[in-house]
Structure 1
Amino acid sequence: MKGHTRRRGKTWAFVIDIGTDPATGRRRQKWVSGFERERDAAKAMRDYIARIERGEVVAEANETVASYLRDQWLPSRRSKVKESTWAGYQDAVEGRIIPAIGALPLRKVTPKHIAKLYDDLLIAGSRDTRRGRGLAPKTVRNTGLVLKKALGDAVRLGLLARNPTEHVEMPRVERKEMKTWTTAQARQFIGFIRGDRLEALWILMLTSGMRRGELIGLKWADVDLDAGRLAVRRARVAVGYKVVWSSPKTMKSARVIALDVATCDVLQAHRAGQGDEMALVGDAYHDEDLVFAKPDGSPLHPDYVSQRFGRLVKKAGLPIIRLHDTRHTAATLLLEAGIPVKVVSERFGHSTTSITADLYQHVAPHMQEEAANKLGAMLLGEPEPEAEDS
């Protein structure tokens, strides 16, 4: 955030650039005047910018929802969250919240306004929705979570006495049936993609359960094929029309994953093929140490990986699943094989084991039956004969 001082009549003022008005494309500025000396205006400007960046917003009597969210809350969050998270905040604020309640005075927002916002989004959608179609309950719920966070910060900073979102029920999101492959189907896919340039990516995706961004952000420095392990340290994610480097999704997502011998062999062959590409391209090769890259070494786009996966699945004649569903497939197969939930949770980088158990509860009946049968056999079945002393 930048600003400068300026003389206005007999006093000094400061002006701060606070972004662009999305409706007009014009630059928006914040003016504060009435200082006797320029150095007083400069000091007040520095203090004002620092307070906004720390989230210590400045209350004004005529503060609207739009001015609070655009000028103070969004700028205060930018340095505190990942770029992809901030882009999600901005999308919700500019595309769905401000068009509906942006003109309201911040202090006069009521639960009734919030409830109407949710209903309107579910029925008619946002300004970006074509033909007036309503938004998915999950999208509306995520919008509500952003608004709840923003107004909660306003309460904490003394701009509101209470958070009106706390008294409004958010849309319920129904759990969709998880689509996964069986062991036979996963093996069929692996057999089909043998020889594909990204064969190693598809195989590592299934054997490790890594996320798309983690795979295309993986570097050879993170891989130890001799020890049979790799470290997830970063990801490449799409933010709007840009692809950026990002930290792993959660603290637990930064993890070490053990690799089986066959996967290590596939990666070793992939590395040799990558060396051939590097020699062919020569000085034009963009060496970023990426395990999976374009033939010239430049990074893969996340959307390209998903689209290519979709085409391969269709050609293989397999049930259509999303690329992310291969992660669900790997977790389901491990749990069905009897691998403890805690081990699967750590391998997949879930923040808690309860997330793993909740995501894959469809496996629970099978595991419960197996547990019952094992315990029943131990206690009620015929005891195994003891070994005779020699």
Structure 2
Amino acid sequence: MNLEHFLKSDGPSWLEVKGSDADIVMSTRIRLARNLVGYRFPLSFDEQEAKQIDQVVTQALLNRNNGDHFFSHFTIKEMPALQRQILVEKHLISPLLAKKEKSASVVISNDESISVMVNEEDHLRIQCLSPGFQLYETYELANQLDRYLEKHIPYAFEESFGYLTSCPTNVGTGLRASVMVHLPALTMSKQMKAIIQTLTRLGMVVRGIYGEGSENLGNIYQISNQITLGKSEEEILNDLQNVVEQIIQNERNARQLIMQQAPIALEDRIQRSLGTLKYARIMTSEEAASCLSNVRLGIDLNIIKDVPLSILNECMILIQQGFVQQYAGTTLQATERDLFRAKLLREKLNAKTKNSVEKGEEKYDV
């Protein structure tokens, strides 16, 4: 497939609404960090080594193409900055890979559930994404690909340490499991600070929607394991599963309490947000994310019944800077982006004009 297929806001399988906890858990991600024997780590290797690694990894992946997962390969330095940004916004590559100048690439499956980053912080990072709360299923998908690659590529591995990685925090299993959760009630009731402190003590880390250094736009958080050494993959997954299950219950309790204590105020907040999304003429990404969070909560609580949750998931990606400019077809200044973002949201959330924006029939004059 060509790159244009992966630059659309719709299509990713991990954006589907799936599972009994889909009202809180948006997606699950498994990432495995691996390096090849005989090459320096990306922090110190040269361009020739980078090219060799890219060729070895890419060839192995493309040889595995099958009906379920057909892979496509893209070189990072050949992409314009906007295309790189869009892939970051879709969680298909990391912000670090998007900045790479040496030979680096990404291999993406046709349904976007798998992406393998080549020459990021490590030689390769296998990433699998699934909708909802599917830790074990997503890990098995990543593990199958990892086992295949290990048969064809000699990994850097030591019995006493496990898989060797550029950063010591990834040594051992090289496994980072994360769950993206929507926690509006815990955020409203100002419980998140205490929860984050507790999770840190348990060896977990809480980050924003785009990982390390990003903010929690729209009350969306990523919860992941911090420790990769000294624990088995099963122990890491079990610990995260238990933690997230507890957070889900805490969020449900917080939602119920808000509904009991201030139902009218909550409904007013939700309906005002829906009105803003449907009729506002200018909107920052922060305001859009906040309104989308409120409307999502309204859908989960059955206050709003005529907006599909899948549209809200897509809009969370659609409001980001890269997508806004792609839909506009030109580079936009901050104010222009805010204007066009509001226009996109109006069209997505108003049924009469929904089809026009999906087909790209309407142009924007900047």
Pair in the same fold by TM > 0.5:
no
Bigger RCO (CA 8 Å, 6+ sep)? 2
- TM-score of the aligned structures, taking structure 1 as reference length: 0.24
Max Rg structure: 1
- TM-score of the aligned structures, taking structure 2 as reference length: 0.25
